[in-house]
C-alpha cells in the first residue's frame, strides 16, 4: 500500500481517488472552498444554488455507462427528460443490420453551456455571460444546438465472409441564427433595468440588438438543412489485418455548416460579412486504411 496525494477534487481527481483508494491510502487536496471543481453546485442564498459547470452528462462508452448505473442506484444521478422526443429502431438479419433514430426537440433558453458560440467564444474561462447582465436582454430563444428535427440511419452488410459494406446517413433541419450587434445607448443609460453599472461589456457587438433594432435570440434567419452520407468497404485479409476504404460524402453533397451572425461591427451599420458562410460541410474524401493488430 502506498500513501498517495491527489491535487484537485474535480471529476478527474475524484475518479482517480476512488479507484486508487481500493488499494492505497489516498489524500485529496483542493485549493477551492469545497470539492467538485467545475462539477460543483454553488450555494447562492439559503435556498438558492446553481450549477457552476456540468448540468448534464451524455455517457457514450460502455465503461462510463456502467459507472453511471451505480450512481443511478445510489440516486446521485437521475435521467433528464428535457423537451425532446427520440424514436429509435434497430434490426439485425443474418448478414445485414440497420439502426437509426429520429429526434424532435425544442431547445430553448438563455444559455447554451459554458460558451457563447454565436460570438465565437470557445473558452469557458472568457465568456461574458456571467459578468454582464446586459448580455441577457432578449436572450431567451432557440439555442444554437436546437434543430426542429434530426435523423440518422446507419447499417452494414456482409457481402461475403471477408468483405463488408457500411454506411451512415444523417439529416438535420436548419439552425436558427441571431443577429448580434451593439447595445443601443438607451439600454446603457435608462432601459428596462434603469441603466447599467459602469462594468457593462463596453463596445462589444454580441448583444441581441442589430442595426438599432431588438432581435431576440435565434430570430434573425435560418441556416441550411444538412445531409451527410459516409460509406466504407472492409476487406478482411486474415484474423489480424484488414484493408478499409472509407468514402466520406461520396456524392459531394454541399451545404453551409455555419453562418456569421454578427450583424454589425460599427454601431448601426450592416456588416458586409453578416449572414455569410463561416464554414462548409466537408467535401468528398476517400481514406484508405491498412490495419494490422499485434
Beta bridge partners of 213: 210
Q: Which helix (H) or strand (E) holds 202?
A: none
Residue 38 near ligand FAD by CB under 6 A: yes
CA 291 to CA 218: how far, in whole Å?
45
In angstroms, the CA 180 to CA 213 distance is 10
- Which span (23-31, 145-153, 169-177, 247-255) binds ligand FAD, by CB under 6 A? 23-31
The verdict on 263 binding ligand FAD (CB under 6 A) reads no
**Applying CB under 6 A, which part among 2-10, 148-156, 215-223, 245-253 lies near ligand FAD?**
2-10
Is residue 10 part of the contact set for ligand FAD (CB under 6 A)?
A: yes
Q: Does 124 bind ligand FAD (CB under 6 A)?
A: yes
Closest separation in Å from C-beta 121 to ligand FAD: 11
Q: Which one of 100, 114, 191, 255 is in contact with ligand FAD (CB under 6 A)?
A: 114
| Residues that contact ligand FAD, how many (by CB under 6 A) | 22
148 binds ligand FAD (CB under 6 A): no
User: Looking at beta carbons only, is 53 or 255 nearer to ligand FAD?
Assistant: 53
16 binds ligand FAD (CB under 6 A): no
> Cα–Cα distance between 13 and 37 in angstroms, integer?
9
> How far apart (Å, rounded) are the C-alpha atoms in residues 228 and 167?
11
Is 53 an interacting residue with respect to ligand FAD (CB under 6 A)?
yes
Is residue 54 close enough to count as binding ligand FAD by CB under 6 A?
Answer: yes
| Helix/strand/coil for 223 | coil
Quote the DSSP letter at residue 31: S
Q: What are the Cα distances from residue 102, in Å, to 150, 175, 220, 265?
A: 6, 17, 26, 39
Q: What is the DSSP letter of 75?
A: T
Q: Which residues of 193-209 are buried (b: 16+ CB within 10 A; e: fewer)?
A: eeebeeebbeebbbbbb
Over the Cα atoms of the chain, what is R_g? 25
Task: Please identify which residue in 11, 229, 256, 265 interacts with ligand FAD, judged by CB under 6 A.
Answer: 11
Select from 21, 39, 219, 244 the one that contacts ligand FAD (CB under 6 A): 39
List residues binding ligand FAD (CB under 6 A).
7-13, 29-32, 37-39, 53-57, 113-114, 124
Amino acid at each position: 500500500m502506498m500513501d498517495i496525494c491527489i491535487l484537485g477534487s474535480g471529476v478527474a481527481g475524484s475518479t482517480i481517488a476512488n479507484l486508487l483508494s481500493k488499494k492505497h491510502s489516498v489524500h485529496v487536496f483542493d485549493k477551492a472552498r469545497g470539492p467538485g471543481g467545475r462539477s460543483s453546485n454553488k450555494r447562492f442564498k439559503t435556498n438558492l444554488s446553481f450549477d457552476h459547470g456540468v448540468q448534464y452528462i451524455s455517457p457514450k462508452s460502455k465503461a462510463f455507462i456502467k459507472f453511471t448505473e451505480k450512481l443511478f442506484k445510489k440516486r446521485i444521478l437521475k435521467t433528464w427528460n428535457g423537451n425532446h422526443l427520440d424514436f429509435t429502431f434497430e434490426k439485425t438479419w443474418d448478414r445485414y443490420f440497420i439502426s437509426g433514430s429520429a429526434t424532435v426537440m425544442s431547445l430553448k433558453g438563455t444559455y447554451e453551456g459554458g460558451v457563447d458560440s454565436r460570438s465565437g467564444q470557445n473558452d469557458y474561462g472568457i465568456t461574458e455571460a456571467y459578468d454582464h447582465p446586459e448580455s441577457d436582454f432578449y436572450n431567451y430563444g432557440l439555442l444554437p444546438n436546437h434543430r426542429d428535427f434530426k435523423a440518422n440511419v446507419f447499417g452494414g452488410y456482409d457481402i461475403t465472409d471477408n468483405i463488408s459494406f457500411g454506411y451512415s446517413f444523417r439529416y438535420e433541419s436548419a439552425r436558427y441564427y441571431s443577429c448580434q450587434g451593439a447595445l443601443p445607448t438607451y439600454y446603457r443609460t435608462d432601459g428596462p433595468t434603469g441603466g447599467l453599472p459602469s462594468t457593462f461589456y463596453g463596445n462589444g457587438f454580441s448583444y441581441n440588438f442589430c442595426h438599432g433594432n431588438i432581435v431576440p435570440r435565434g430570430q434573425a434567419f435560418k441556416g441550411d438543412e444538412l445531409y451527410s452520407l459516409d460509406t466504407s468497404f472492409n476487406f478482411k485479409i486474415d484474423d489480424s489485418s484488414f484493408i478499409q476504404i472509407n468514402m466520406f460524402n461520396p456524392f459531394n453533397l454541399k451545404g453551409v455548416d455555419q453562418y456569421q451572425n454578427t450583424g454589425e461591427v460599427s454601431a448601426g451599420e450592416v456588416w458586409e460579412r453578416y449572414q455569410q458562410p463561416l464554414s462548409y460541410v466537408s467535401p468528398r474524401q476517400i481514406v484508405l486504411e491498412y490495419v494490422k493488430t499485434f
